[in-house]
Structure 1
Amino acid sequence: MNCKYCCVTCGAEADELSHHYKEGVIKIIHCKECQNPVDPYIELDDLLVFIDFVLLKLRAHRHVLFNIDKIKYNHIIKLSCALILANAYIKWFHLKNDQYQSIINQDHHIFYALEYGFYSNLFESFLEYTIRFGLIFLIAFAQWRQNWTRDRSMLLFRALILSSIGQLFILPLLIWSPDHRDYYGLLMSFIFTILCHTQALNASRLFSSLMSFLSSTIAILLSKYLLSIVSQNSFL
């Protein structure tokens, strides 16, 4: 955890990605373990990196987690807020769509209830992410109990936030099919989020491949189940 960078091919630690010589000569460093370039993504455009990230390539996840200095933690906080707002909007949109006929009939009580419903869904969204991330943190802490550090906590939080972008892919579906719930799209987003969490946790070197998949699946399913129980209470 003390080394700054990571080889995207084998996951070995590295002190630098490239070496700068005089007269502007730059040489990409090769990994001491696998003899491959430590990170060939530093030569690629950000869009190509994002495509590989969405395609769940392990090398791209390692690059994003370890080798990008320009992603600061204030950006991670802003992205986490955007994810919570997007999830809340999706929940509220479906609620509004279900009650659309009541709004047409000028049932103002339903209308104001829906406006209140957005704040309720915002709390539900925050609670869902808190439960999901909290469960994964507990599993990671139990596994690394003797060697758990603040750096590992920040790395895990970074991995979970960046791998939650699948939630944003539902927003275009609301534009393309606003009149009904696209359960197929929701299912695809759900599966993609599990796989993205799995790949990110595996890339973080905090979990094995199997533990990454199991912890991601259990945390997401359990968070949705607990949220469904909480949502049945009258105050939500």
Structure 2
Amino acid sequence: MAAAMGYQCVECGFAIRTLYVQYSPGNIRLMKCENCKSVADEYIECEFMIILIDLILHKPKAYRHLLFNVLNQKTENFQGLLRNAIFGFILLDGYRCMLLNWQEGERRGSSSSIISLFWRYRKVFMACLVGNSLFLCVFLLATRILLNSSLTFSRFRDLLLVILVSSYFKIFLIAMMVWEFPLSVILIIDLFVVSSNTVALKVTTGSSTARCLGVCFSAHCVKLIATHALELPQIMWKNNFSG
């Protein structure tokens, strides 16, 4: 992965200096890749929905367009973009934990008292904080071990952006605010997030699919185990406090 994640040809991943030449407003000429002789980035002239569909289909060239040619450290206001991505990621992950927690409370017949609500929201907060902290640590460690990648500050920001952006499937959780879905939908979304993270990591590092899948799968597994491990001691503490 390039240190600064500069522009790349979406077809072959070859580094290029510019994507297009603009002669006048609305009049541009797309540049061709010196390596594969194809148009370097055809998505420049595509509608957002076409790009989104190709991302959902896990097409590597769509991920190259998004991660190298649209969102990178050369992007204007990159720091603000990164902060907003982190905020959105945590917000959606917290909503996911809340959905699972409420379903668990209904299954156990938990009361809706103030104390019960306090423990529920505390559990959601702890699950987000501990789960995502461990996820990031394991992800970076596995990247260092399995992908033999150094972890400079610039590289850390690149990898963080890759994970945040490629977790866009979490946005579909918003639909559960409006329509009622079975909670198995959350599992499906989680699987799509893992696969999307894998493709994005493969595109940005050039490593094999198996190694990238190992990195993402191990990080998500540790997050899942840590989230569920928090459940037992909090239930015991709540029962003792109630008693």
1:32 match: 34
Q: Secondary structure at the match of 2:230?
A: helix
Greater shift after overlay, 22-31 or 73-82? Answer: 22-31
Once the two structures are TM-superposed, the CA of residue 34 in structure 1 deviates from its matched residue by 0.8
Distance in 2 of aligned mates of 1:214 and 1:3? 23
Residues 132, 219 of structure 1: 8 Å contact kept: yes
Structure 1 residue 99: Cα displacement: 4.1
Q: Give 5+ residue unaligned stretches, structure 1.
A: none
Deviation at 1:23, TM superposition (A): 8.7
Q: Using a 3 Å threshold, how does the CA distance of structure 1 residues 133 and 67 change in structure 2: closer, same or farther?
A: same
TM-score by length of 1: 0.83
CA separation in 2, counterparts of 1:230 and 1:94? 14
Check whether the contact 2:101–2:124 (CA below 8 A) recurs between aligned residues: no
Whole-Å Cα distance in 2 between the matches of residues 50 and 70 of structure 1?
22
Which of 68, 78, 83 in structure 2 is aligned with 1:72?
78
Give the number of equivalent residue pairs: 228
Aligned residue runs from structure 1 range 95-134, under 5 A: 95-99=101-105, 109=113, 111-134=114-137
CA–CA separation in structure 1 for the residues paired with 2:213 and 2:31: 32
Query: What pairs with 1:1-236 in structure 2 (closer than 5 Å)?
Result: 1=2, 4-21=6-23, 25-68=27-70, 69=75, 72-99=78-105, 109=113, 111-142=114-145, 143-144=147-148, 147-177=150-180, 181-183=182-184, 185-205=185-205, 207-234=207-234
Stretches of structure 2 that go unaligned for 5 or more consecutive residues are 239-243
Residue by residue over 1:25-83, the C-alpha shift from the partner in whole angstroms, topping out at 9 and shown as x without a partner, is 52211111111111111111223222222221111111111101368332232222222
Deviations 1:153-211 (CA, angstroms, capped at 9, x unpaired): 21111110011122232332353226xx522x122112101110111101112532221
Task: Report the residue type matching 2:204 in the other structure.
Answer: S
Q: Corresponding residue for 2:241?
A: none
Supply the AA of the counterpart residue of 1:85: L
- Name the CA shift for 1:25/1:95 in 2 (closer, same or farther; >3 Å): closer
Q: Structure 1 residues 124-133 or 65-74, which shifts more?
A: 65-74
Aligned 8 A contact 2:11 2:61 in 1? yes
The alpha-carbon deviation at position 148 of structure 1 amounts to 4.1
Note closer, same or farther for the CA distance 1:100–1:62 as it changes in structure 2 (3 Å cut): same
SS at match of 1:13: coil
Question: Is the contact made by 2:100 and 2:183 (CA closer than 8 Å) also made in structure 1?
Answer: no
Classify 1:118/1:89 alpha carbon distance in 2 versus 1 (closer, same or farther; 3 Å): farther
- Give, in angstroms, the shift of residue 126 of structure 1: 2.6
1:89 touches 1:118 (CA, 8 Å); kept in 2? no
- State the alpha-carbon separation in 1 of the partners of residues 50 and 104 from structure 2: 39
Q: Does the 8 Å contact 2:9/2:15 carry over to 1?
A: yes
Bigger Cα displacement from structure 2, 90-99 vs 49-58: 90-99
